[in-house]
Amino acid sequence: MMLNLREYHRPTDLEEAVRLLRRRETRTVPLAGGTTLVPSRRRDVEAVVDLADLGLAYIRSEGDRLRIGATTTLQQLAEAPLLSDPPAGQTFLRLLAETAHATAPSTLRTAATVGGILAAPQASTPLIVALLALDAHLTLWAPQPRQTSLESFLAYRERLLADGALITEVSLPLPRPDDPPARAAWAWVGRTPHDQPIVCAAAWLVRAGDTVQAIRLALGGVADHPIRLPALERELQGAPLDAATLTLDIPNPPSDFLGSAEYRQAMALQLARRALAQAWGR
């Protein structure tokens, strides 16, 4: 439990939540599912703003974007019919249901939220890797709403979340009805089938006959946060895909008790090949 907590707030509108979070005199942080924050023994937190009544638990398809509210839980993502049984032309959305399920065990999934996962990301969180491959953008209230790509957010997270910024929504592009179908897949390696990944990869692509019309590839577990590989994506675009000949050069992967830098580099290559080959064949 936070050791200096003095105030609990549960606002019902966003402006009030942001106002509370931006107070300089009282160190205030958002409380979402609480799975990380509540058991933490943080001394710096004096007040929390519970996000539960802000109406941010939703998953909806609106025109050309899928919108996910920040307090949507991992379990809601894993079970949402829109994601687990998506309409024709949007089958790549299954990637979100699959990776939300794989991100945490059921006890955590029912509480942990999309916003919490993004605010406190781990290096190989499957859902974040999937969201990167699906070109997700975030809405941050800081203090007015603004958009940022997930890629930029992950690179500058601490700066963007300073001064009481609040993640309110994640959204991603949906294809138009006449667009060719996109496909997506992911692959991972961990110590056991129920453990979190050491390394994982997610791929999204559109085929035009035998060539790649559009492609995105993301990796987890090879840097301090999940990353996309834009240079490789550019190389693969417009050519036939031969995943077996793919090469990857990842600068300075981390090395720890879960896996050495060399192991992570080798796994990243195999998993990227597997995810790409699966997406290509789907």
Binding residues for ligand FAD, rule: CB under 6 A, are: 29-37, 51, 70, 103-104, 108, 111-113, 115-117, 119-120, 122, 125, 161, 166-167, 196
Among candidates 123, 188, 134, which has minimal Cα distance to 157?
Answer: 123
Is 129 or 206 the residue whose CB approaches ligand FAD more closely? 129
Is 128 or 276 the residue whose CB approaches ligand FAD more closely? 128
Please give the radius of gyration of the chain, using alpha carbons only, rounded to the nearest integer: 19
Q: How far is the CB of 211 from ligand FAD (least distance, A)?
A: 35
Q: How far is the CB of 102 from ligand FAD (least distance, A)?
A: 9
Q: How far is the CB of 93 from ligand FAD (least distance, A)?
A: 20
The neighbour count for residue 43, using CB atoms within 10 Å, is 11
Is 144 or 247 the residue whose CB approaches ligand FAD more closely? 144
159 token code pair: 């700066």
Backbone angles phi, psi at 85, to 5 degrees: -135, 65
Q: How far is the CB of 104 from ligand FAD (least distance, A)?
A: 5
Is 215 or 258 the residue whose CB approaches ligand FAD more closely? 258
Is 32 or 217 the residue whose CB approaches ligand FAD more closely? 32
**21, 28 Cβ separation under 8 angstroms:** yes
Burial 213-238 (b: 16+ CB within 10 A, else e): ebbbbbbbbbbebbbbbeebbeebbe
Name the residue with the smallest CB distance to ligand FAD. Answer: 116
Q: How far is the CB of 37 from ligand FAD (least distance, A)?
A: 4
34: helix, strand or coil? coil
